[in-house]
Structure 1
Amino acid sequence: MKHKFTLLLALTFFFLLSLPTLASVDTVATFSAAMQKEIKAVVITPKDYNDSKEYPVVYLLHGYSGDYKAWLNQVPQLENYADQYDLIIVTPDGNFGSWYWDSPEVEGSKYETYVGKELVEFIDQKYSTIDSREGRAITGLSMGGHGALYLAFRHQETYGTAGSLSGGVDIAPFPENWEMKKYLGTKAENPARWEEYSVMFQSNRLIANKLKLIISCGTEDFFYNVNVKLHEKLAYNNIPHTFMTGPGGHSWDYWRDAVQYQLLFFHNYFEGNK
């Protein structure tokens, strides 16, 4: 009986050793000098992460009413994707409804500066990253889809590729929604500002082949029409991009499926820049 128990322990030990290790998930506290406060983010590093190698980074932004934990809570497969594509995934906190702007109305809401500059600097200092635009991607869902493209269009020296999942890429049709007027003032009183702070307007900054783009939106999504409008504008201005549509609404069922295609898109971009 003793020998059988010893054998069982040995087999259990070797079985545990044979199990694949998973990505490492950390919650980090970062300090924003622009906002004078601590902000949390989830950082997923691949299972074979080590400091002797430099890794590309994907910044993944949450939507309105979400937080830094939302992506991993809803899509735990992100750990597998970090392993599969050998990259770092960062999901920062964008506050309840900041829209990732440096707000002209709310003092202390400077999430463009935080996500577009301060967080990137923190990640590059703390982790072994490819410290150049060729090693960085940014995408997000809904408010975060708008934020990802808004930041990428305005910081093309920082990101080499960007995406959006069901992004609110044109805010003009929604002047009373999602607290945007809290951060921009009312559209009626600030029409020029509402244009300037929209992805649709910021797309005028693009030049062909500077930024590798992928835009996804479900055909039943209330943001579908504005995504089609952005796609048509980019095509008219000869800005190459990938535009993916298919059945789906404004839901995690759609985002859970669509994000894996965007991560593959980013992986192919990173591989092409090695």
Structure 2
Amino acid sequence: MRKAFVGSLLLSVLCAGCSSASEETLNGSSEQSTAGTANKAGSHIQHIQVGSQVLGRDMAVDVYLPPGYSDQQQYPVLYMLHGYGGNASTWFDWLDLDGAADRLIHEGKLQPIIIVSPDIARSFGINSIPGQGVNQGDVDEGLYETYLNEELVAYMDSHYRTLASRESRYIGGFSMGGYAALYLAMTHVEDYSKAGGHSAALWDYTDTDLYTGQRDWLYPTEELRRLRDPIWMASYKAKPQQGLEMYLDAGESDELAEKDEKLYDALKAGGYKVEWHLSEGGHDINYWSSQLDNYLLFYAKKR
């Protein structure tokens, strides 16, 4: 059985070739790196390291700062999580999310926004401990949920000019990162107002499930499945009082599309505000690249 949760050979090649972000090793408390790249539109990508106490190491993070970024202004912040085998640079280096953001901001369609792309390894964004599930060597265990939702958010809010409120904080991702974004937003609804699952890695325990080793590691017991499976979470969690807006999409030829649509049905039945988009394409870089405008406008369309 294939072990990487990637839906095509193209994505396998993409992730195998993802280059590491420019890094600056930090001593003691985390500090911003000055390493970064500016583009013609005047935006800037910083390659930083954020120290994590719960993971016991520095974690790579790429941060997109919009054109005209200023200490005199505050910005909404979007956390975008990569797929299996990707890294902190995948959204920018391979999908050109920064280019799409630059263009939409220039056209007056998108609010200037900070975009944060952290390395989440092969963790699915959860808190896991060795022995909790059977790790076949294809996942990374550790307190990634705590790192992402507590340490990283706190770091960004203290080091950048973010609007540090639920209303201005969004999270999304593709494939494995789509699962992680949905899980984190539904578990910590007090922290995010919008969430996107783009070709999210989901399972419904039918014969069409893929990568069942990863499924069984995520959900080794019925109780953990109840706590971690977005489809199950949608069926028993009451509609969030604060209101959580959700965006689900997949390519028509993506084998995960039926799973994602099943989540959409469960969310609708659970009273969530959610939209579903099925478009031409598969589980690959070409599909996600074609959807970047739709993703960004969902998160931060200029009113």
- TM norm structure 1: 0.82
One-letter amino acid of the structure 1 residue matched with residue 56 of structure 2: Q
One-letter amino acid of the structure 1 residue matched with residue 123 of structure 2: S
1:129-208, aligned counterparts within 5 Å? Answer: 129-170=162-203, 172-173=205-206, 174=209, 176-177=211-212, 179-181=214-216, 183-184=217-218, 187=220, 190-203=221-234, 204-207=236-239
Change beyond 3 A, Cα 1:31–1:171: farther
Change beyond 3 A, Cα 1:221–1:21: closer
SS at structure 1 position matched to 2:273: coil
Deviations 1:164-216 (A, max 9, x none): 100013364547546454x547x4xx243234321112223351661011111
Task: Decide which moves more: 251-260 or 126-135.
Answer: 251-260
1:98 aligns with 2:123: yes
One-letter amino acid of the structure 1 residue matched with residue 172 of structure 2: T
Q: Percent identity?
A: 28
Instruction: Mark the runs of 5 or more structure 2 residues left unpaired by the alignment.
Output: 1-38, 133-140
Deviations 1:112-155 (A, max 9, x none): 11111111111111100100011111000000000001000011
Q: Relative to total residues, which structure has the larger helix share, 1 or 2? A: 1
Residue 22 (structure 1) shift: 2.3
Counterpart CA distance in 2 for 1:113 and 1:32 is: 9
Deviations 1:31-58 (A, max 9, x none): 1111111101100001100011000011
Match of 1:4 in 2: none
1:88 aligns with 2:114: yes
One-letter amino acid of the structure 2 residue matched with residue 99 of structure 1: F
Task: Tell whether the 8 Å contact from 2:178 to 2:197 is kept in structure 1 after alignment.
Answer: yes
Instruction: Mark the runs of 5 or more structure 1 residues left unpaired by the alignment.
Output: 1-18
Counterpart CA distance in 2 for 1:148 and 1:156 is: 11
1:245 aligns with 2:278: yes
Counterpart CA distance in 2 for 1:140 and 1:206 is: 24
Q: How many residues align?
A: 247
Task: Tell whether the 8 Å contact from 1:219 to 1:249 is kept in structure 2 after alignment.
Answer: yes
One-letter amino acid of the structure 1 residue matched with residue 51 of structure 2: F
Residue 82 (structure 1) shift: 4.9
SS at structure 2 position matched to 1:241: strand
1:235 aligns with 2:262: no
SS at structure 2 position matched to 1:164: strand
- TM norm structure 2: 0.75
SS at structure 2 position matched to 1:213: strand
One-letter amino acid of the structure 2 residue matched with residue 94 of structure 1: I
Counterpart CA distance in 2 for 1:119 and 1:231 is: 28
Candidates 251, 260, 263, aligned match of 2:293: 260
Q: Bigger radius of gyration, 1 or 2?
A: 1
